Structure 1
Amino acid sequence: MTELGIGIGWRPEIADAVEELPGIDWVEVVAENVCAGHLPDSLARLRARGVTVVPHGVSLGLGGADRPDPERLAALAEKAEALGAPLVTEHIAFVRAGGPLTASPRLEAGHLLPVPRTRDALDVLCENVRIAQESLPVPLALENIAALFSWPGEELSEGRFLAELVERTGVRLLIDVANLHTNHRNRGEDPARALAELPVEAIAYVHVAGGVERDGVWHDTHAHPVPAPVLDILADLAGRVAPPGVLLERDDRFPPAAELAAELTAIRATVTTARRRPAPAAAPHDRPASRHGVGAAALRAGRALAGGDPLLIGAGARVSGGLMPAVGAVRPPGPRPRPHRRRGKGARRWPRRRARPRCPPGTRHGREWGWGRWRCCRHWSRGLRCPRASTCGGCGCRAGRSRGSGPRSWRGSRPSSRRSSARGSGPRSWRTPGPGRCRGATGGTRWTSSSRCSWTSGPSGGS
């Protein structure tokens, strides 16, 4: 992962001040404001000093119903190559509507409009992102935007929407903490929950900017100092993951260079302090399970950046956020959870498995039909002859068997269906009129002692 450091948005109005600011590691330039064949002299001097320049697009409209304009994609790719940028960025928004698909004139909004957080809108966005990724020579990162309203019927939260976008496309994220604050003020969304649901390992860098409240509405103006709540959100994010880069945006009412330097110092101190604090624990509902698709695997593998640097995604981290359990991790103390057992009508209820009884050497064993476990025969273990053997050959005891027959064989046919079960005598037990009396005339009649014979067998072929 390319480490960008602390940077500032390059604007022509503050070009000279940006060159003189101490500690500037990189700058971001609006892609629509520069030409690939004629870069501003200030940007050329910054590049000569080794300062990284990242183009930031605002007009692709990847969230719209139309496919991305090939000419705009080609222009953005040309600028990325001219600037030697390690990546390019855009917004999760739509900026135009109409056109041939709707048989209406094409309308340019001139503003970043929010995408409905629905499954259908996500499908369209993912397809547009894949088209853009194939057309660009460097990785693409997308920024969350600030919105003044919410679309009806939204199905996903902002964090969940971004997480699924990353999973399906492998795109990187540009997180604007000022926009999270704006959505909190205007739409009541929780920034902490959004950060908990985000795949923080996919963050390329972070935007920080100021705003102002007017008539009860917070406006993300990029023309005012960075407020304390925005720095608090930045600290929360930096406590969860070390951001590769943090950039200060200023688009209007440019202050003196000293004031810009003070804001950059505050941003750097916030990130440094947050890294020393332990990361906040996420609640189970704050980080739902994530599907790992092709996009997630591609993101874990990494995309090649300019110069051959891979996007190193932690091997011990999920794309949906949070650490994977370590190999060979010790199970927490306490009883093991019992497996789920089917209940209700038709469920087979088996007795608890017990240790096999130890019998004297030479003791023959039988299997009780229907219970699925071996038991020591009372008659065999005592060396007794079953009293039913002389009367009926189908008792199943050793005395009534032919030579060479095993304990699981059965002489005679299946018992007659005319039977009754003795209450409390166990499953598939037989009730007989009394000791020594035969239940039926067939060879398959089963006999019991005064309670029941402790060795019984199944039909022909074994039980």
Structure 2
Amino acid sequence: MKLGIGIGWRPEIAAEVEALTGIDWVEAVAENLCADHLPDSLVRLRERGVTVVPHGVSLGLGGADRPDAERLAGLAARAELLGTPLVTEHIAFVRAGGPLTASARLEAGHLLPVPRTWDALEVLCENVRIAQDSLPVPLALENIAALVSWPDEELTEGQFLAELVERTGVRLLIDVANLHTNHVNLGQYPAKALDELPVEAIAYVHVAGGIEKDGVWHDTHAHPVTSPVLDVLAELRSRVDPPGVLLERDDAFPPGAELAAELETIRATLRKAGDTRRPRTTTTAPAAPVPTATAAPAAPVATTTPPPAAPVPPGARDRTAVAQTALLSALVAGTPAPEGFDHRRLRVQSRALAAKRADVVAKVAPELPEILGDGYRAAFVTYARSHPMSGGYRRDALDFVERLLISGGLADPVAQRRLTHWWEDRSGVRPTGRATRLVRAARAVLAGK
């Protein structure tokens, strides 16, 4: 199906998106939509014939666990509500721990890279098949940006994606900004990845902005699209005419005129690269054929017919679970870094995860930065370094405030009183006093002896 040029729909820029001309489709974060009704803005866009694609961020298909049935049902319900031709998710893990490792469940609050090993590939492929069987429309998966790389990887990114497509028939959502990010951060060349992956399996493309700090590229989605990212888009367009290209913006939203200018730059980049399109040369075995953008439009997006599924090798899930739990624990709980990882990059990733949590909690509970002022961010990041997120962001906000109140670290009595009232209004009970907390801790120590 030919999607055309689109933009990520976000509530903060709903009016600006509706006012843009030449927009063929939009993408909305699936978890930000109710399963039984749509925001008025999306209703109006659909009435105008604008396609809406739900983009999931929480399935964690690259994780060691099988996909959660409730999350899959929620994504399926949103697909039905939107009448979308496909849904998308990420090649990533977002949580670890739990029964497979007999340890506490840990939430990353962000997309983390899957090790490109045969074990992880087997697990991912089975998880993708489970998801495909649960969804009413085809699935496409996105490559992610990474700050760290796994040691002893057995496949390149292009090879990993090619194997995934060949084994499952899943389509690809290629984010060219993420390819650029991985070039700066990990030394992985976008052109090599594009040569190795099956570009004919691309459902659509993401384009987004970022910023470089101290030699590390941060995929912020809060800055204008840069020339190097547009160069990667041109590289992709020189190989294939993607069915759709979408501009992502998630924060620091500019005026509508700036969004329109970025969209026009994307169109110009595609036109120029299309005029110089070169024959594709593959360095890996070609994947099974997938309809390209020149195929006749169809209601559903066609997919390949994968070969019969082979069972996941014994122990693959357990080995993947142990590895992912060790990494995530080091990032969010301060445990020792697993062997072979770059410690400096782990610190960068850990700080990035804490900062993202702080940003999201500030949106979920805007009263907290208002009460704490300039001290909010530093206080939350300090909290996050030793307190992993075990539930959603609302639970995270409550836990943060409770820890802050128990610690007695607030010098401002007005802020102390306001936070206490905020916490009581949302939890229904008063935070445990410091003396009670110390008694409970002592009892726990004695019980463990």
In structure 2, which of residues 266, 269, 284 is the aligned counterpart of residue 288 of structure 1? 284
**CA 281–137 in structure 1, closer or farther in 2 if over 3 Å, else same:** closer
Within 5 Å, which residues of 2 pair with 1:13-32?
Answer: 13-32=12-31
Within 5 Å, which residues of 2 pair with 1:331-346?
Answer: none
Identity %: 76
Q: Please give the alpha-carbon distance, in whole angstroms, between the structure 2 residues aligned to 1:34 and 1:254.
A: 20
Q: Please give the alpha-carbon distance, in whole angstroms, between the structure 1 residues aligned to 2:18 and 2:154.
A: 45
Question: Do structure 1's residue 64 and structure 2's residue 63 form an aligned pair?
Answer: yes
Q: Secondary structure at the match of 1:175?
A: strand
Q: 2:285 is aligned with what amino acid?
A: A
Q: Please give the alpha-carbon distance, in whole angstroms, between the structure 2 residues aligned to 1:117 and 1:13.
A: 36
For 1:269, the equivalent position in structure 2 comes to 268
Q: 1:240 is aligned with what amino acid?
A: R
Q: 2:14 is aligned with what amino acid?
A: A
For 1:189, the equivalent position in structure 2 comes to 188
Q: Deviations over 1:211-245 (max 9, x none)?
A: 00111111000000000010011011111100000
**CA 255–310 in structure 1, closer or farther in 2 if over 3 Å, else same:** closer
**CA 99–126 in structure 1, closer or farther in 2 if over 3 Å, else same:** same
Q: Deviations over 1:361-403 (max 9, x none)?
A: xxxxxxxxxxxxxxxxxxxxxxxxxxxxxxxxxxxxxxxxxxx
Q: Please give the alpha-carbon distance, in whole angstroms, between the structure 2 residues aligned to 1:143 and 1:310.
A: 16
For 2:144, the equivalent position in structure 1 comes to 145
Within 5 Å, which residues of 2 pair with 1:345-384?
Answer: none
Q: Give the CA deviation at 1:101.
A: 1.9
Q: Tell whether the 8 Å contact from 2:196 to 2:284 is kept in structure 1 after alignment.
A: yes
For 1:225, the equivalent position in structure 2 comes to 224
Question: Do structure 1's residue 205 and structure 2's residue 201 form an aligned pair?
Answer: no
Q: 1:257 is aligned with what amino acid?
A: G
**CA 124–43 in structure 1, closer or farther in 2 if over 3 Å, else same:** same
Q: Give the CA deviation at 1:300.
A: 6.7
For 1:54, the equivalent position in structure 2 comes to 53
Question: Do structure 1's residue 3 and structure 2's residue 9 form an aligned pair?
Answer: no
Which structure's relative contact order is higher, taking Cα pairs within 8 Å and 6+ residues apart?
Answer: 2
Q: Which runs of 5+ in 2 are unaligned?
A: 305-449
Q: Give the CA deviation at 1:289.
A: 2.8
Q: Tell whether the 8 Å contact from 1:159 to 1:197 is kept in structure 2 after alignment.
A: yes
For 1:399, the equivalent position in structure 2 comes to none
Q: Give the CA deviation at 1:12.
A: 0.4
Q: Secondary structure at the match of 2:223?
A: coil
For 2:160, the equivalent position in structure 1 comes to 161
Q: Please give the alpha-carbon distance, in whole angstroms, between the structure 1 residues aligned to 2:99 and 2:29.
A: 29
Q: Secondary structure at the match of 2:203?
A: strand
Paired residues, what number?
Answer: 303
Task: Please state which structure has a larger fraction of its residues in helix.
Answer: 2
**CA 301–176 in structure 1, closer or farther in 2 if over 3 Å, else same:** closer
Q: 1:311 is aligned with what amino acid?
A: A
Higher Cα radius of gyration = 1
Give the 4+ runs in structure 1 shifted more than 3 A. 299-302, 305-310
Question: Do structure 1's residue 257 and structure 2's residue 234 form an aligned pair?
Answer: no
For 1:40, the equivalent position in structure 2 comes to 39
Q: 1:16 is aligned with what amino acid?
A: A
For 1:278, the equivalent position in structure 2 comes to 277
Q: 2:167 is aligned with what amino acid?
A: R
Q: Secondary structure at the match of 1:86?
A: coil
Within 5 Å, which residues of 2 pair with 1:425-436?
Answer: none
Q: Give the CA deviation at 1:38.
A: 2.1
Q: Give the CA deviation at 1:279.
A: 1.1
In structure 2, which of residues 302, 313, 326 is the aligned counterpart of residue 311 of structure 1? 302
Q: Secondary structure at the match of 1:96?
A: strand
For 2:102, the equivalent position in structure 1 comes to 103
Q: Tell whether the 8 Å contact from 2:137 to 2:300 is kept in structure 1 after alignment.
A: no
Q: 2:43 is aligned with what amino acid?
A: A
Q: Secondary structure at the match of 1:242?
A: coil
Q: Give the CA deviation at 1:309.
A: 4.8
For 2:125, the equivalent position in structure 1 comes to 126
Q: Tell whether the 8 Å contact from 1:242 to 1:275 is kept in structure 2 after alignment.
A: yes
Q: Please give the alpha-carbon distance, in whole angstroms, between the structure 2 residues aligned to 1:312 and 1:129.
A: 13
Q: Give the CA deviation at 1:281.
A: 5.7
Q: Give the CA deviation at 1:288.
A: 2.3
**CA 184–115 in structure 1, closer or farther in 2 if over 3 Å, else same:** same
TM-score (structure 1 length as normaliser): 0.63
Q: Please give the alpha-carbon distance, in whole angstroms, between the structure 2 residues aligned to 1:301 and 1:15.
A: 30
| Stretch moving more, 34-43 or 200-209 | 34-43
Q: Secondary structure at the match of 1:102?
A: coil
Q: Give the CA deviation at 1:141.
A: 0.2
Q: Tell whether the 8 Å contact from 1:31 to 1:56 is kept in structure 2 after alignment.
A: yes
Q: Please give the alpha-carbon distance, in whole angstroms, between the structure 2 residues aligned to 1:108 and 1:186.
A: 24
Q: Tell whether the 8 Å contact from 1:116 to 1:151 is kept in structure 2 after alignment.
A: yes
Q: Tell whether the 8 Å contact from 2:242 to 2:292 is kept in structure 1 after alignment.
A: no
Q: 1:146 is aligned with what amino acid?
A: A
Q: Please give the alpha-carbon distance, in whole angstroms, between the structure 2 residues aligned to 1:76 and 1:33.
A: 11
Q: Tell whether the 8 Å contact from 2:116 to 2:153 is kept in structure 1 after alignment.
A: yes
